[in-house]
Amino acid sequence: MTTDNTNAAAKIELRNLFLSTGPATRILECCAGPNRSMYRACYTGRDVTSLDIKSISGTIRIDNRQYVKNHADEFDFFDVDVYGSPHQLLATLFANRRSSQPFAVVVTDGTGRLLEYGGHHRAHCVSANIPRRMRIPHLHRFSKELVGYFLKALAARYGYTITGGKFIKCKKMMYYGFVARKNG
């Protein structure tokens, strides 16, 4: 199904790619959603823990940032399927991961939409050296570059290298995945 902000085919392609090539023994699905579409398409039969802030059958009801803060080392595959910005959750993951084992992350990122609708993304702007109060017209056109700056800065801050990156842009949404490996 393809709608304004969801391309299920791209999301499934990305997940299957990283399930087959990256570490994926224990999966944390951070945004399970009421329809459990990605769970049904990609994760049935695997070792998966699913979270949602809403009460949804088969999931733990919790804010995913709180859960990731306390359980980041228990998983090696993180599914971050948000409509809006995933960056706070990604920052929480890198900040709280102590294990030196590599981990895979697949992300749905609505930053382009948020920027186009007038939002201002502090995390991106800091990473791209854009002054906090500066408003740049059409910044959403550079959402891929902004995400790249953000991930590079985040990985460097916590001593990781981002490898195997795959990026799919579809309408206003970005779908990407990568494997993070501890340096040294």
Ligand X SMILES: C[S@@+](CC[C@H](N)C(=O)[O-])C[C@H]1O[C@@H](n2cnc3c(N)ncnc32)[C@H](O)[C@@H]1O
Please report how close the Cβ of residue 57 comes to ligand X at its closest, in angstroms: 12
Which stretch, 81-89, 117-125, 137-145, 160-168, contacts ligand X (CB under 6 A)? 81-89
Residue closer to ligand X (CB basis): 3 or 129 = 3
Residue closer to ligand X (CB basis): 72 or 139 = 72
For 22, 23, 79, 131, 179, the CA distances from 16, given in Å and listed in that order, are 10, 12, 12, 38, 14
83 binds ligand X (CB under 6 A): yes
Residue 144: partners with Cβ closer than 8 Å, 6 or more residues away: 167, 169, 174
Lay out the site mask for ligand X across 18-57 (x = CB under 6 A, - = otherwise).
Answer: -------------xxxxxxxx------------xxxx---
Residue closer to ligand X (CB basis): 22 or 86 = 86
Please report how close the Cβ of residue 72 comes to ligand X at its closest, in angstroms: 15
Residue closer to ligand X (CB basis): 31 or 125 = 31
> Exposed, middle or buried by CB within 10 Å (0-12, 13-18, 19+), for 55?
exposed
64 binds ligand X (CB under 6 A): yes
Query: In this chain, which residue has its C-beta nearest to ligand X?
Result: 33
Residue closer to ligand X (CB basis): 60 or 156 = 60
Residue 106 DSSP SS3: strand
Residue 61 DSSP SS3: strand
Please report how close the Cβ of residue 17 comes to ligand X at its closest, in angstroms: 16
Query: Element (H or E) spanning 33, and its range?
Result: none
Residue 60: partners with Cβ closer than 8 Å, 6 or more residues away: 49, 50, 51, 52, 67
Calculate the dihedral angle through the C-alpha atoms of 110, 177, 39, 76, rounding to the nearest 10 degrees. -130
List contacts with ligand X (CB under 6 A).
Answer: 31-38, 51-54, 63-65, 81-83
